[in-house]
Structures are given as structure tokens and as C-alpha cells.
């Protein structure tokens, strides 16, 4: 775990977190255990933006569901201000529910299709007694104006199907912000939107963070988006965090992080042809699912016998942690120049 930014305290923490599913093997009836989250320790601090990246199936969304209490862990604990959320009762549990909100990937499916925008937001406000009935309409209008849906009176009588995808996502953000949370968990909030709309939503999140001081956990495949928004970036692979830090994408120290950076598209074909890349072989889902050793060793171009033992997530620089036996080894940098001989091109 990297240290708190600016001395802030953790609002959410996970310790020794595991989440295991039972699923059928491909092409047969035999069942197997899938470790969606495999021993994660992580802190999320007030006022920071933490991005969680990784390929599909790496455990990002499962970790988000654990943060929100939508599923219970197989082992380990999720802590809200130091208390396990499973033990929260009464006023403490309501406080957690209000202070930690979610924005989901598909805004259309997260909004009730039979409720107008005004009704959707008013229900949240009245349920949590944030305003009396006479003042609700004004609070709804202020919330819509805050997320750029202006004039609010134009959008309040609409149903979700009468809104564009970007407008639906703005309503979802307004609904989350209505409770004045301290942290929003955003699970792929840009993936269902057009590129131009993605930029608008990203700008909105940046403005909300600047104006309200809210914290954000952003789960995304878009490395350029998280690079522009995040204070820290956590890289997940097969349920484990393999690298975390502010410079995880600018100066990747884990081979998997370097492979993610190298996989991005570059508009200039000459630069794309000239760059030296790590190209991974095989499929993460088909690699042996054993709990021992480095989770990446079956695809890693630098795997050695030492990788049969699981590496700890250790600091290689202040605030930059890597789970690799060779991340801080100067001799190994000479042996693997493709990883270390250049600064990665600027994302975007």
C-alpha cells in the first residue's frame, strides 16, 4: 500500500481480501474455483482519485462490488473509516451508504425506465430526508445544473429513454452527488459512451472533484483517461494488485504494466513500428490457476525459477509499490532493456 496523499486518512480499506466463485470449466460440466480477488490490501483516501486498471477478468469490477458491499468477501474485510462494513448497524450503516456512492457502467440500466428524471432524484432526496417536500424541486434542479444539464426544467420531466447516453450518465452522477458523498465508486463510467461524450464526462468528474473535494475510485480500460484524472493507479492481474503508484503508467516497473502501456494504440504509424514492445503470449484465463508463486509468471517474458515464490508488494520508490522479484534490481534492468531503456510515450 502506498502512503496517503497529503496526509489524508483512509475512508475505505481492504485487508487480505479474497472473493472466490465456482464456475464451470470451458466446454464441460466440471466445476472449478475462480479467484476473482486474491489477497488484496488497499487503502482509498479522502479527496484522491484512485484508478484501477487491468484487462478484462482481472478482478476490477469484483473489487468495486466488494467496496460497495454488493457481495460479501470469501475472506478478509472491507473497512469504512476503520470499521468492517459487515459490523455496521443503524446510523453508522446509513452513514456509510450515504458517504460511499456508485456510478455504473451502463447508465440506462441503472435508471428506472418508468421514472422521470425529477422523480428519480426526488426519491433519493426524500428517502434520506435531505429536504422537505416543498424544497425538493429546487434541490433537484440544483443537482442537474451542477452536472451540466441546463436548464434543469428541460430535463426534469424526461424519462431515461428520452436522454442520450451522456445525459443518462450525468443524471446517474447527479443522483450519486445528491447524497453529498465523500467517495464515488465509478465502474467503467465511460465505456458505453461515444468518444466525444467520454471527454465531457471526464471533464465533469474533474470539475466535481475540484469543486467538492470528493474522492473517486475509477475502474477503466482507458489508460489515457485514468492518466489524466488519477492521483494513484493500481494495476490488477488475476485478482492481485501487481503495481500501484502515481507513476505506474508513466514509469511502469512490472512487466504486466509495461505490456498494458505497450498495447495502447499510437496514431503515428512510424512511432508505432519503431517502438519496442512487450507482447504477451497466451490468455490470462487459460493460465494455470494455482495460488502459489507469481500470478503473472506463466505469461511473463522475464520469468525465472525465483518466480515460483509469490512476490510481495514492496516499495521501489516512495509511493510506488510493485509485486515483482526483479522490479528494484539494477542488474536485471541491464538484462531486460526493453523494460527500462526508454521513457514510455505520453498517453493520449
What would the pLDDT profile of 4-24 be if each residue is shown by its tens digit?
Answer: 555 568 899 999 999 998 876
Q: What is the DSSP letter of 345?
A: P
Residue 177: pLDDT band (50, 70, 90) is very high
Between 244 and 24, name the one with better pLDDT. Answer: 244
Indicate if the pLDDT at residue 264 is higher than 70. Answer: yes
- Grade residue 346 by pLDDT with cuts at 50, 70 and 90: very low
- Whole-number Å distance between alpha carbons of 96 and 246: 27
The DSSP code sequence of 228-291 is HH-SEEEEEETTEEEEEETTTTTS--SHHHHHHHHTS--S-HHHHHHS------S-GGGS---S
pLDDT digits (tens, 9 = 90+) for 328-337: 664 444 334 4
Contact 170, 145 (CB under 8 A): no
Hey, what domains does the chain have and what are their CATH numbers? 8-106+183-340 (3.40.50.300)
The answer to whether the beta carbons of residues 224 and 264 sit under 8 Å apart is yes
**Averaging pLDDT over each range in 8-12, 60-64, 223-227, 301-305, which range is the top one?**
60-64
**pTM (predicted TM-score):** 0.86
pLDDT value, residue 336: 40
Q: For 98-132, what is each residue's pLDDT tens digit? A: 999 999 888 888 899 999 999 999 999 999 888 98
Average per-residue pLDDT in the chain?
Answer: 85
| Alpha carbons 172 and 293: distance in angstroms, whole number | 41
Is residue 344 over pLDDT 50?
A: no
Burial class (CB within 10 angstroms; exposed 0-12, middle 13-18, buried 19+) of 136: middle
- Cα–Cα nearest to 120, from 143, 89, 90: 143
Mean pLDDT of all residues in 293-300: 87
Amino acid at each position: 500500500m502506498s502512503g496517503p496523499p497529503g496526509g489524508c486518512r483512509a475512508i475505505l480499506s481492504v485487508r487480505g481480501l479474497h472473493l472466490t466463485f465456482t464456475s464451470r470449466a470451458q466446454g464441460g460440466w466440471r466445476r472449478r474455483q475462480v479467484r476473482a480477488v486474491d489477497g488484496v490490501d488497499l487503502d482509498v483516501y479522502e479527496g484522491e482519485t484512485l484508478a484501477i486498471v487491468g484487462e478484462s477478468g482481472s478482478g476490477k469490477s469484483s473489487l468495486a462490488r466488494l467496496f460497495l458491499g454488493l457481495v460479501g468477501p470469501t475472506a478478509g474485510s472491507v473497512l469504512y473509516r476503520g470499521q468492517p462494513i459487515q459490523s455496521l448497524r443503524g446510523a453508522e450503516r446509513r452513514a456509510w451508504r450515504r458517504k460511499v456512492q456508485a456510478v455504473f457502467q451502463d447508465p440506462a440500466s441503472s435508471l428506472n425506465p418508468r421514472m422521470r428524471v425529477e422523480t428519480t432524484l426526488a426519491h433519493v432526496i426524500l428517502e434520506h430526508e435531505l429536504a422537505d417536500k416543498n424544497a425538493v424541486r429546487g434541490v433537484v434542479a440544483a443537482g442537474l445544473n451542477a452536472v451540466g444539464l441546463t436548464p434543469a426544467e428541460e430535463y426534469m420531466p424526461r424519462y431515461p429513454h428520452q436522454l442520450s447516453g451522456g445525459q443518462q450518465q450525468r443524471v446517474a452522477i447527479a443522483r450519486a452527488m445528491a447524497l453529498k458523498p465523500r467517495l464515488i465508486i465509478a465502474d467503467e463510467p465511460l465505456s458505453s459512451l461515444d468518444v466525444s461524450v467520454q471527454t465531457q464526462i471526464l471533464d465533469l468528474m474533474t470539475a466535481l472533484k475540484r469543486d467538492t473535494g470528493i474522492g473517486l475510485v475509477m475502474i477503466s480500460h482507458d489508460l489515457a483517461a485514468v492518466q489524466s484524472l488519477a492521483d494513484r493507479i493500481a494495476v490488477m492481474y488475476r485478482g492481485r494488485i501487481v503495481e500501484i503508484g502515481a507513476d505506474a503508467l508513466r514509469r511502469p516497473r512490472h512487466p504486466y504494466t509495461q505490456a498494458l502501456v505497450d498495447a495502447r494504440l499510437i496514431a503515428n504509424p512510424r512511432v508505432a513500428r519503431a517502438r519496442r514492445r512487450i507482447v504477451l503470449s497466451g490468455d490470462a484465463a487459460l493460465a494455470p490457476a494455482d495460488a502459489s508463486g507469481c500470478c503473472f509468471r506463466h505469461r511473463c517474458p522475464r520469468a525465472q525459477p525465483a518466480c515460483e515464490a509469490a512476490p510481495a508488494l514492496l516499495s521501489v520508490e516512495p509511493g510506488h509499490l510493485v509485486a515483482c522479484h526483479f522490479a528494484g534490481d539494477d542488474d536485471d534492468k541491464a538484462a531486460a532493456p526493453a523494460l527500462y531503456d526508454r521513457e514510455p510515450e505520453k498517453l493520449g
